Structure 1
Amino acid sequence: MAHSAALAAAIDEFREPRGYLAVASIGLPPNSAVAAMRADLNAWEAADRDPQGYDPVIARTRESYARLVGIPSSRVAIGSQTSVLTALVAAAVPDGAEVLIPEGDFSSIEFPFLQRPGIRVRVVPLEALADQITDDTWLVVFSLVQSATGVVADTASILEAAARHDAFTFCDVTQAAGVLPVDASLFDVTVCHTYKWLCSPRGVAFLTLSERFDPLLTPLQAGWYAGDDVWTSTYGPAMHLATDARRFDVSPAWQAWIGAEPAIALFAGLDIAEVWAFTSGLGDALCEAVGIPPQRQAIVTWPDASGGDLKKLIDAGIRVSGRAGRLRASFHLWNDLSDVEAVARVLG
């Protein structure tokens, strides 16, 4: 199938790392991100950098991410890790309230709730999540795409049940944004770390908040970067926080944002449905090649409890990963059918 001009240009932004099927573990940077980071490093070495110079980069990156997930940038806060942003939400859960989570979801969105005293956390299978929402459920927490299996959550059913029982929704889109269309406006909270499918340096994460959930949060980690005017907010005790989601900002790791800006802008300019058709198509080609039912996912997994298949592929120079007793292969823009054929040859 022919690619659109935009997708073809995006594919050309990556080198040809044949055999790299591990974007679900860590993405690869586009050429523009590498060039930007090298230029920034040179400028830093030449004493030609100052903290204020990073602010426009961060503002543009926030705008690109907001455009990618379909919400105003005023509803987007920045951070560095999903667990830190999740902990802010966990602190807002009322005493005695129920939080519903799927069994086996990623720990960064589960541990902060499990560590929170005074609330009730109920764990159910992902496929039963919608049916298990009740009038007692205050918050439903889940990943749009499961890290261990690549399974895409049935968001329509979850959202319908949550609305029926007046429960809030929290969705981790780390394994989705950049490969699967994401509409953050559907959820009360989303979190995303961008070092996977958005091909950014580690240390760039986002929190989005609905208008009804925003007032429930307290900016417990407020610092100078949460100020309405950042550079007059560097000393206390006077505190004038931003009035929008920026009041939840965590001060940025500057160099990471230099690489994130071109990477996230790249994906914000694509038709992500086309990206999903391309990557999940490669996933189904791999399923056919290794003789398993089609999964219709960009992440393909199968049982490999002994790690035998993982070892064969790694020894052959094919980068995949093992998670929860399963072999995990994941496809992104730099992959093509030759990667599928290489896996099939090694596994026979």
Structure 2
Amino acid sequence: MDSFVDGSGYLAACTAGLPTLGTLAAQRADLDAWSRAATSPATYGALVEEGRALFAGIVGVDAARVATGSQTSAMVALVAASLPDGAEVVVPDGDFSSIVFPFLVQAHRGVTVRSVPLERLADAVRPGTALVAWSAVQSATGVVTDPAPVLDAARAAGALTLCDLTQAAGVLPVSAAPFDVTVTHAYKWLCAPRGVAFATFSDAALERVRPVQAGWYAGADVWSSCYGPTMQLADDARRFDVSPAWQAWPGAVAALRHLASVDAGSAWRHATGRTDRLADALGTPRSGQAITTFPDPDGSALRALTAAGVTASGRAGRLRLAFHLWNDDADVDRVVAVLGAVEGFRPAG
């Protein structure tokens, strides 16, 4: 907790993480260097490579399988654009739009998106399904999906798998290795500045996904790839890189250094311990999730927490709370006290 800014009452890591002190120092140092004309693309490039390696370690793959970018939707769009005409994609109902919309906009060439209840995702995969896309942790509810049945069903059908780790990496122990593609924006649980995202690719995905947004940063040697018409792309996942948002990377690398040093199992136990304590205090079943939600159709509970100085969020008619490394039992007690005074609040049903 001491590595972060004061996060008392901040229960919104699922919306945006808080910076570590190291991240703030790195961002300020970069601004100072910029003010002295002392920054350079080469220095930022070295940070990108360090960040790539750190993220690879967090999700358990080789750095050669990691591509860097700025937004998850743009990375998913690469996969969507690479599907054959008429392909079928299966997604869960209500999943985050960044892993749904890129496939929906391919309808003009016959790509269809079939949406099914999350608990039926594995059963919905059938012969002819080209790809299954879902989030490891659901943004709206915090539900954690067991990937094994979905992966087994996809393999049996010959379908690719795409998993969004944005609401998982940094708090939940995860491995990107079993999936064909993963996408992760680092500004939530990994606590990086917004504008740094990662994707990972299996051998099958490296063969089948086209780098349709290739630019100079996708080159085998970025400094020899600044001008056309000759093109020699990287032979690993770097072929999917886009030019980095430089000013985001000093702080992102500082954040990744810190999160890479934290045991993910400990982070998950810390977060779920707070949500379980909250459930016990409110008399509801324990969810065992880092994100917990309660019915709040009129938003009165969220408004009460906001008025009390607690930062939370509302999604799909529910109050959404997230506990990360900077939160402690005092945050739980504060939420219980506020919600106990909200007329008509029912934590379940």
Q: TM-score, normalised by structure 2?
A: 0.95
Q: In the alignment, which of 162, 185, 197 is matched to residue 170 of structure 1?
A: 162
Match of 2:282 in 1: 290
Q: Is 2:112 the counterpart of 1:120?
A: yes
What is the number of equivalent residue pairs in this alignment? 338
Secondary structure of 2:133's aligned partner: strand
Match of 1:15 in 2: 5
Match of 1:81 in 2: 71
Match of 1:193 in 2: 185
**In 2, Cα distance between the equivalents of 1:235 and 1:15?**
43
8 A Cα contact 1:174 1:194, kept in partner: yes
Deviations along 1:4-49, whole A, 9 cap, x unmatched?
xxxxxxx221133211001100100100010011001000001111
8 A Cα contact 2:312 2:319, kept in partner: yes
Give the 5 Å matches for 1:1-348. 11-117=1-107, 118-348=110-340
**In 2, Cα distance between the equivalents of 1:307 and 1:102?**
25
Alpha-carbon shift at residue 182 of structure 1 (Å): 1.1
8 A Cα contact 1:103 1:123, kept in partner: yes
Please, what is the CA RMSD of the aligned residues?
0.9
8 A Cα contact 1:24 1:197, kept in partner: yes
Alpha-carbon shift at residue 154 of structure 1 (Å): 2.0
2:21 partner amino acid: N
Query: Any stretches of 5+ residues in structure 2 without a counterpart?
Result: 341-349
1:140 partner amino acid: V
8 A Cα contact 1:179 1:332, kept in partner: yes
Alpha-carbon shift at residue 107 of structure 1 (Å): 0.3
8 A Cα contact 1:65 1:265, kept in partner: no
| Deviation larger for 157-166 or 245-254 | 157-166
Deviations along 1:70-96, whole A, 9 cap, x unmatched?
000000101100000010000111111
8 A Cα contact 1:188 1:213, kept in partner: yes
8 A Cα contact 2:27 2:250, kept in partner: yes
**In 1, Cα distance between the equivalents of 2:278 and 2:105?**
39
Secondary structure of 1:142's aligned partner: strand
**In 2, Cα distance between the equivalents of 1:218 and 1:15?**
41
Secondary structure of 1:12's aligned partner: coil
Deviations along 1:99-129, whole A, 9 cap, x unmatched?
0011100001100001112212111011110
8 A Cα contact 2:7 2:18, kept in partner: no
Match of 1:4 in 2: none
**In 1, Cα distance between the equivalents of 2:132 and 2:83?**
11
Identity across the alignment (%): 56
8 A Cα contact 1:227 1:241, kept in partner: yes
Q: Which runs of 4+ in 1 moved over 3 A?
A: none
Match of 1:6 in 2: none
Q: TM-score, normalised by structure 1?
A: 0.96
1:54 partner amino acid: Y
Alpha-carbon shift at residue 300 of structure 1 (Å): 0.6
**In 2, Cα distance between the equivalents of 1:171 and 1:81?**
15
Deviations along 1:250-270, whole A, 9 cap, x unmatched?
100001011100111211222
Match of 1:7 in 2: none
